[in-house]
Amino acid sequence: MATTTKTVGTKQAKRERTSHATNWGRGFIVKLILMMAIDALGVYGLLATWQTDQMGLFAGLAVLLVAANYIYFARRTLPLKYIYPGLAFLLVFQLFVIGYTFYVAFTNFGDGHNVTKPQAIEALLQQAERQVPGTNAYPVAVVEKGDELGLAVVAQDGSTCAGAVAGDVCLGTAEDPLSVVDGATVANGRPTDVPGWQVLNLQQIISRQDDVADLRVPVSDDPEDGSIRTPDGTNAFEFKSTLEFDEATDTMVDTATGTVFHPNDRGQFEAEDGTRLPVGWRVSVGWENFSTAFTDARYAGPFWRVLAWTVSFAFLSVATTFLLGLFLATVFNEPRLKGRKIYRTLMIFPYAIPGFLAALIWSGMLNRSFGFINQVLLGGAAIPWLTDPWLARLSVLGVNLWLGFPYMFLICTGALQSLPDDVLEASRVDGASAWRQFRSIKMPLLLVSTAPLLISSFAFNFNNFTLIYMLTRGGPRFADASVPIGHTDILISMVYSVSGLDGTAAKNYGLASALSIVVFIVVGTVSAIAFRQTRKLEEVM
């Protein structure tokens, strides 16, 4: 140990002398150019996130950028120079999203609770905006820059837009509230020319009628000040919200009826009589999503059945493909057999077919009324391969066997060929039969070398979404479940249905994330136990 430390020490000294972290060689120039490009992109990103007010992204990006510059210009960070690119992606798109899944699992994030509270308040105020009765219509010009529409009006007094005096022109867009513009010309009380903007004529307004009618230009940053809108493109009206948010008491008041709405702990404003305002915000709901998954009759029943099927599917997939692969590998591990190479090349064809294609092709072949299997191989039978619960499960396993056996065949062949000849020879001399040899020598050795691959295969099939979704879409549906989950659904496809991202159900990110975490835990535990076991296997050998 001591000698290694010493050599490492001298190595480090030498490396520091020869390091080109900051010399002016060719490599350094390349690095400098790359870093300049990355920094330019990064600074652009920082500006963009700052402008759109996304502080979380801003902070994350800043940390990544500073770290990149430090790592590539310091001398002492050699290993990180190699690890960092992959690490950066890993941090954002794997570790962060896993962490974020945990956060979402404890909220009611989903339809009706999509945003933060301030955003929900703003949306509510906007939705409740009505034209203020008794206010004058004032002439307006619809203006355009690029693709962005805006409204320009002549200020009556200071209330039209901040800092304006009567006669000033105020301009605003959907994003930016009204503000004074200089140098605009006005004719007949209507702006006719605004620098930097093109004033639309009647024809252009008609051609973009819907966009113009939908355009809402806020009067100021405060949503309670309301907005101006123009239904016809010539006259603008003031709109004000019928709701009012009182920050001091944290309540919404309906100015028309006087009803007071208090925020409840579900992330919605609720009145005394139980009526709620439509837009809610996401709040923490503790373990509720988990208890829904395990105890709510709508989810708990299907959940346990899906879990049981997922485990059996993953296990049986590995077992069937491994056994067939091993059998074929043993059969063809015979040097005296002619044409071995041709058999082998043809047999592993399915391995080179992308899984989604195979599933789609088989879904056609297994079609009940037109499929090849029923029509040709079974002479016109009408077997519901994909629509009967048990047959559908059998079909899924059968298709996966077709897809997976070549891989097992390949690794078993590799493992068989690397078995130590001397051990086999010795057993033969001792008079062991072929079967005895297989059972006591080949099989244990084979399991040691293929066990890690079998475990990864199990983990892969545990989440083999593509196969299930493309072949059966999880169907046939459970007859007694109110959620769209079926007999061949595995956990991940159940999560997909529950999340509502496929558009078939209301979105429920919270519950979906909670289910994802359950899957994480199951997969993690199984892999951990399995890896421990394989280490034991290796020790025994």
Partner 1 sequence: MSGQTTRVDTQEIIEAENQKLRARMKPGRYLREIGWRHVIGVIAVVYALFPIVFIISASLNPGGTMTGSNRLFRQVSFENYAALNDTRFWQWFGNSLFISITTAVGTVLMGAAAAYAFSRFRFTGRRIGLTALLIIQMFPQMLAFVAVFLLVRTIGMAFPSLGFNSNLTLIAVYLGGALGVNTFLMYGFFNTIPVSLDEAAKIDGATHTQIYWTIILRLVAPILAVVGLLSFITSFGEYILASLILPSQHEWTLAIGLFNWVSDQLNANWGLFAAGAVISALPVLVLFQLLQKYIVGGLTAGSVKG
Find the binding residues for partner 1 in span 393-422 (CB under 8 A): 402, 406-407, 410-411, 413-415, 418
Among 2, 187, 248, 352, contact with partner 1 (rule: CB under 8 A): 352
173 contacts 110 by C-beta, under 8 angstroms = no
The whole-angstrom separation of Cα 373 and Cα 462 is: 27
Cβ proximity to partner 1, 183 vs 339, nearer residue: 339
Stretch that binds partner 1, among 52-60, 170-178, 311-319, 476-484 (CB under 8 A): 52-60
Choose, by CB under 8 A, the member of 372, 388, 424, 427 that binds partner 1: 372
Question: Binding of partner 1 at residue 310 (CB under 8 A)?
Answer: no
Which x/- pattern, by CB under 8 A, does the window 317-346 give for partner 1?
-----------x--xx-xxxxxx---x--x
Q: Go through 125-135 and write b for each residue having 16 or more CB atoms within 10 A of its CB, e for each that does not.
A: bbebbeeeeee
Applying CB under 8 A, among 268, 363, 472, 488 the residue interacting with partner 1 is: 363
Interface residue with partner 1, options 22, 66, 75, 100 (CB under 8 A): 100
Cβ 90 to partner 1 shortest distance, Å: 5
Do 140 and 234 touch, CB atoms closer than 8 A? yes
Among 139, 211, 290, 350, binds partner 1 (CB under 8 A): 350
Residues 108-147 that bind partner 1 (CB under 8 A): 109
Residues in a beta bridge with 149: 144
Contact partners, residue 217, CB within 8 Å, separation at least 6: 150, 151, 172, 173, 174, 177, 178, 227, 228, 229
Query: Angle 531-533-539 (CA atoms, 0-180°, nearest 5)?
Result: 105
CB of 23 to partner 1, least distance (A): 10
Q: Is 49 in the site for partner 1 (CB under 8 A)?
A: yes
Cα distances (angstroms) measured from residue 109 to each of 284, 509, 513: 9, 5, 10
At 303, phi and psi to the nearest 5?
Answer: -60, -50
Looking at 24, 349, 390, 435, which residue binds partner 1 (CB under 8 A)?
349
Among the listed residues 62, 67, 87, 311, the single contact to partner 1 using CB under 8 A:
87
Give the binding range for partner 1 (CB under 8 A) out of 49-57, 145-153, 183-191, 198-206: 49-57
Residues 228-267 interacting with partner 1 (rule: CB under 8 A): none
Quick check: 70 binds partner 1 (CB under 8 A)?
no
Among 97-105, 161-169, 207-215, 439-447, the segment contacting partner 1 (CB under 8 A): 97-105
Coil, strand or helix at 260: strand
> 265 with 84: CB under 8 angstroms?
no
**Could you tell me the end-to-end alpha-carbon distance of the chain, in angstroms, rounded to an integer?**
28
One-letter identity of residue 435: W
Among 351, 388, 441, 476, binds partner 1 (CB under 8 A): 351
Query: Could you say whether residue 390 binds partner 1 (CB under 8 A)?
Result: no
DSSP letters along 456-496, please? HHHHHHHT-HHHHHHHTTT-SBPTT-SSS-BTT--HHHHHH
Other beta carbons within 10 Å of 164: 21
20 touches partner 1 by CB under 8 A: yes
Q: Among 6, 27, 207, 298, which residue interacts with partner 1 (rule: CB under 8 A)?
A: 27
Can residue 101 be called a binding residue for partner 1 (CB under 8 A)?
yes
The amino acid at residue 480 is: D
Q: Residue 315, interface with partner 1 (CB under 8 A)?
A: no
d(CA 511, CA 384): 33
Span from 144-152, 159-167, 436-444, 494-502 in contact with partner 1 (CB under 8 A):
494-502
CB of 508: closest distance to partner 1 in angstroms? 10
- Look-up: residue for tokens 């007999």? 487
Query: Which DSSP symbol is given to 166?
Result: T
Q: Which of 15, 75, 298, 536 touches partner 1 (CB under 8 A)?
A: 15
Closest distance to partner 1 from the beta carbon of 360 (Å): 5
DSSP-assigned states of every residue in 381-431: ----TTTSHHHHHHHHHHHHHHHHHHHHHHHHHHHHHTS-HHHHHHHHHTT
Rounded to whole angstroms, the Cα distance separating 175 from 213 reads: 16
Least separation in angstroms between residue 167's CB and partner 1 is 38
Closest residue by Cα to residue 110 from 519, 498, 516: 498
Q: Considering the complex, state which of residue 93 and residue 287 has its C-beta at the smaller distance from partner 1.
A: 93
| Interface map 460-479 toward partner 1 (x if CB under 8 A) | ---x-xx--xx--x------
In degrees, to the nearest 5, what angle opens at C-alpha 261 toward C-alphas 260 and 264? 150
User: Which of 138, 245, 362, 385 forms a contact with partner 1 (CB under 8 A)?
Assistant: 362
Stretch that binds partner 1, among 62-70, 194-202, 219-227, 527-535 (CB under 8 A): 527-535
Strand order in the sheet with 243-246: 243-246, 251-254, 260-263, 269-271
Between 55 and 479, CB nearer to partner 1: 55
Q: Is 304 in the site for partner 1 (CB under 8 A)?
A: no
List all residues 6 or more positions away from 532 whose beta carbon is below 8 Å from its beta carbon: none
Helix (H, G, I), strand (E, B) or coil at 261: strand
- Residue from 524, 532, 533, 535 touching partner 1 (CB under 8 A): that is 524
Note whether 3 binds partner 1 by CB under 8 A: no
